[in-house]
């Protein structure tokens, strides 16, 4: 039991001390017989205070440390490192949150906030008193990463990981790489095309022996844990021989004889494609693919092209990796039928359809057989909704819409753009595009947050009616040839992999990181990282930056061949366990299994999978489970201090 504990109460500038009487807290806890010293400090996380703590630990021979400050999510590891530098076991340190839980929560009742802070700090002291020195466990690790999703984030992170010496399995569900980036032509603000960017990345991937690419591939199961994940991948064949040299002339003839036509997802339903397809000539891998879901096996294509092979079978691969990186991207928001006239008013399309429409029309902009000259853009469709699902701003949509208006004017003659918005967000250098659009004559009309434009037909095309913010509510009507709904990013509809890997999902339905600033690409599942637009709305530059961060984090975790894991784990007393199975059912990390012990079946914890969440403890009818670092004696002593 610890009897030389040092306590430090942080003022956090004035965030804490404005509402919590830190001096009173200091005096109250000093009365505890196990507290050797009690101090207040302006900023506990400051370098000078950290040095003072380390000095006190050494000089006073402290065997326990309590810091009352902000949330442990921010500085738990800061103060653990202080303990390590001073020679104190880091698990004899306890952090108490008196900022978020006291001063901020009870700023209207400073006296009560102070009393609560005293009790919380006393509880922390009693926990530290019964704390034990722990050591991190070490496990071996494969220096291999499975990257799921071969969009721009997945491709870029794979290259970075391979260059750092890790083996990479790059898994793409579609038969072609590139993700959303391959669907866009000119990109803001570089002027490059999405296809050029993907082409360059693909060349680097093919030339790197550390990267193995699987297309038509899907993760179907996972076992194991960080360092040694065992992943099962299903590979759907292209039904075309790998050494096929199907030139474009021959490919065109095959397309002619294929009787199947389906909606072209690559062009967002603007046209049809055949069951055998390649979205554009320079798409990678170079070999076309046959859509297994729609192909009828009529055999007409085989007559012209013996390289087509319907004998190919679905394969299952078993891969082992030390870490996993999710880069599965996003879906554009699909407006509901009738939302701003979508699918109910003629000539209303989405921004992603507009971008593909520009690609499909060379000399003149034609939609539904009609020449287009007056185009309107309604911003924030499906985003920033006060009463809807998507309350967030995707941040890239304003810039994308403005950039689309600019390239439309450059490519076609006599185009007039109208931008109906709730406020433009073109941050950083993207503001130059807003300036360019304004200078070229684009009209920006802002509507109120609590009103939305109404859409009707004028006989020739859609009519937009808004109450204009800049003219204090004057009603303005604009007749258009084409109305474009500017939509943001939403999470992928198909996300079975999140269930397989147990990746947490945030309120916005995107994958959730541990902390947006301190651990921005890590999830609570050890060894599983996230990057790109599967995590949150990001443009290409931001996606690449997060991909590089995730690659660096994954490589640093597994490259040494050994991983240190937190010792805060559940332990099961096998002499008490009667294997009711309740702990196995409730464990969210599949970390508990049954084993034979002394002639009976009992439960056992897989230490490398356990996250120390404690969910198994209250369901055990025999009280056979303890959580290291949060044992019964520690928790009970904290409760006694609180009451």
Residue 447 sits in a domain of what CATH number?
3.50.50.60
DSSP letter (8 states) at residue 336: P
| Mean pLDDT across 179-205 | 94
The CA-atom distances, in angstroms, between 393 and each of 332, 377, 508, 579 are 13, 17, 11, 49
Does residue 641 belong to any structural domain of this protein? no
Whether residues 368 and 478 share a domain: the answer is yes
| Mean pLDDT across 425-446 | 95
For the record, the structure tokens of 196 come out as 């050029």
CA 434 to CA 188: how far, in whole Å?
12
Q: Do residues 428 and 448 make contact, with C-beta atoms less than 8 angstroms apart?
A: no
Is the pLDDT at 465 greater than 80? The verdict is yes
**Residue environment code for 118-149, b if the CB has 16+ CB neighbours within 10 A, otherwise e:** bbbbbbbbbbbbbbeebeeeeeebbbbbbbbb
Q: Do residues 88 and 114 make contact, with C-beta atoms less than 8 angstroms apart?
A: no
Does residue 530 belong to any structural domain of this protein? yes
| Mean pLDDT across 49-76 | 95
Whether residues 361 and 469 share a domain: the answer is yes
For the record, the structure tokens of 81 come out as 């490192």
CA 401 to CA 424: how far, in whole Å?
10
CA 622 to CA 146: how far, in whole Å?
40
The torsion angles phi and psi of 180, rounded to 5 degrees, stand at -70, -30
Does residue 322 belong to any structural domain of this protein? yes
Q: Regarding predicted confidence, which is higher, 190 or 275?
A: 275
Does residue 309 belong to any structural domain of this protein? no
Q: Do residues 519 and 553 make contact, with C-beta atoms less than 8 angstroms apart?
A: no
**What residues make up the domain containing 548?**
144-236+314-329+500-558
Boundary residue ending a domain (490, 508, 532) = 490
- The burial of 250, by beta-carbon neighbours within 10 Å (0-12 exposed, 13-18 middle, 19 or more buried), is given as middle
Q: Do residues 290 and 254 make contact, with C-beta atoms less than 8 angstroms apart?
A: no
Angle between helices 152-163 and 540-558 in degrees, nearest 10: 40
The structural domain count of the chain equals: 5
pTM of the model: 0.84
Whether residues 322 and 345 share a domain: the answer is no
Q: Which residues contact 640 (CB under 8 A, 6 or more apart)?
A: 126
Q: Which of the four pLDDT bands, split at 50, 70 and 90, describes residue 588?
A: confident
Q: In terms of residues, how long is the chain?
A: 643
Write down the pLDDT at residue 306: 86
**Per-residue pLDDT tens over the stretch 226-267:** 999 999 999 999 999 887 766 777 888 899 999 999 999 999
Whether residues 374 and 319 share a domain: the answer is no
Whether residues 479 and 337 share a domain: the answer is yes
Does residue 584 belong to any structural domain of this protein? yes
DSSP letter (8 states) at residue 2: -
Does residue 632 belong to any structural domain of this protein? no
For the record, the structure tokens of 419 come out as 């931008």
**Per-residue pLDDT tens over the stretch 366-420:** 999 999 999 999 999 999 887 778 999 999 999 999 999 999 999 998 999 999 9
Q: Which residues contact 426 (CB under 8 A, 6 or more apart)?
A: 398, 399, 402, 433, 434
Whether residues 194 and 265 share a domain: the answer is no
| Mean pLDDT across 329-337 | 95
Does residue 586 belong to any structural domain of this protein? yes
| Mean pLDDT across 89-101 | 96
For the record, the structure tokens of 550 come out as 């995730």
First to last CA, the chain: 21
- ω before 189 within 30° of 0 (cis)? yes
CA 574 to CA 603: how far, in whole Å?
7
The torsion angles phi and psi of 101, rounded to 5 degrees, stand at -90, -10
- The burial of 164, by beta-carbon neighbours within 10 Å (0-12 exposed, 13-18 middle, 19 or more buried), is given as middle
């Amino acid at each position: 039991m610890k009897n030389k504990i040092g306590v430090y109460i942080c003022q956090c500038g004035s965030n804490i001390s404005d509402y919590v009487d830190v001096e009173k807290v200091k005096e109250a806890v000093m009365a505890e017989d196990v507290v050797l010293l009690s101090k207040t400090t302006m900023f506990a996380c400051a370098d000078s205070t950290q040095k003072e703590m380390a000095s006190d630990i050494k000089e006073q021979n402290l065997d326990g440390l309590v810091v009352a400050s902000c949330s442990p999510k921010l500085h738990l590891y800061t103060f653990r490192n202080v303990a390590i530098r001073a020679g104190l076991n880091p698990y004899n340190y306890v952090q108490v949150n008196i900022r978020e839980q006291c001063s901020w929560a009870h700023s209207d009742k400073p006296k009560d906030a102070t009393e609560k802070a005293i009790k919380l700090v006393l509880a922390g002291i009693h926990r530290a008193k019964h704390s034990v020195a722990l050591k991190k466990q070490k496990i071996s690790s494969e220096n291999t990463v499975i990257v799921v999703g071969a969009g721009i984030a997945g491709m870029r992170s794979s290259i970075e990981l391979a260059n750092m010496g890790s083996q990479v399995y790059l898994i793409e569900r579609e038969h072609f790489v590139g993700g959303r980036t391959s669907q866009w032509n000119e990109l803001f603000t570089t002027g490059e095309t999405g296809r050029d960017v993907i082409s360059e990345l693909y060349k680097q991937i093919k030339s790197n022996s550390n990267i193995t690419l699987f297309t038509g591939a899907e993760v179907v199961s996972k076992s194991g844990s960080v360092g040694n994940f065992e992943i099962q991948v299903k590979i759907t064949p292209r039904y075309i021989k790998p050494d096929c040299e199907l030139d474009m002339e021959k490919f065109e003839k095959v397309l002619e004889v294929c009787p199947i036509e389906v909606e072209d997802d690559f062009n967002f339903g603007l046209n049809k494609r055949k069951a055998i397809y390649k979205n554009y000539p320079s798409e990678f891998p170079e070999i076309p693919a046959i859509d297994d879901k729609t192909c009828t096996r009529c055999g007409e294509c085989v007559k012209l092209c013996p390289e087509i092979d319907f004998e190919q079978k679905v394969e299952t691969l078993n891969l082992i990796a030390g870490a996993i990186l999710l880069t599965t991207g996003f879906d554009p928001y699909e407006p509901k039928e009738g939302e701003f006239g979508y699918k109910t008013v003629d000539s209303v399309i989405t921004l992603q359809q507009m971008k593909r429409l520009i690609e499909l029309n060379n000399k003149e902009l034609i939609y539904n057989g009609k020449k287009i000259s007056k185009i309107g853009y309604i911003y924030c469709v499906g985003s920033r909704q006060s009463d809807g699902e998507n309350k967030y701003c995707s941040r890239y949509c304003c810039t994308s819409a403005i950039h689309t208006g600019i390239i439309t004017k450059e490519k076609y003659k006599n185009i007039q753009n109208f931008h109906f918005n709730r406020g433009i967000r073109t941050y950083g250098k993207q503001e130059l595009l807003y300036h360019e659009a304004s200078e070229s004559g684009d009209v920006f009309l802002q509507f109120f947050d609590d009103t939305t434009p109404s859409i009707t037909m004028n006989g020739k095309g859609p009519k937009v009616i808004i109450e204009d913010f800049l003219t204090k509510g004057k009603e303005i009507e604009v007749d258009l040839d084409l109305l474009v709904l500017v939509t943001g990013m939403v999470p992928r509809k198909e996300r079975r992999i999140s269930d397989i890997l147990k990746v947490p999902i945030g309120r916005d339905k995107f994958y959730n990181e541990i902390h947006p600033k301190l651990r921005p690409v890590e999830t609570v599942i050890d060894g599983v990282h996230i990057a790109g637009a599967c995590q949150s709305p990001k443009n290409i530059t931001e996606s690449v930056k997060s991909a590089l961060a995730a690659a660096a984090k994954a490589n640093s975790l597994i490259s040494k061949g050994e991983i240190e894991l937190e010792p805060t784990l559940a332990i099961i007393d096998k002499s008490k366990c009667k294997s009711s199975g309740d702990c196995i059912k409730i464990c969210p990390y599949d970390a508990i299994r049954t084993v034979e012990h002394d002639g009976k079946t009992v439960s056992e914890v897989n230490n490398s999978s356990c996250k120390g969440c404690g969910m198994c403890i209250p369901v055990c009818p025999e009280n056979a489970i303890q959580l290291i670092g949060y044992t019964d004696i520690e928790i009970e002593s904290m409760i006694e201090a609180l009451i």
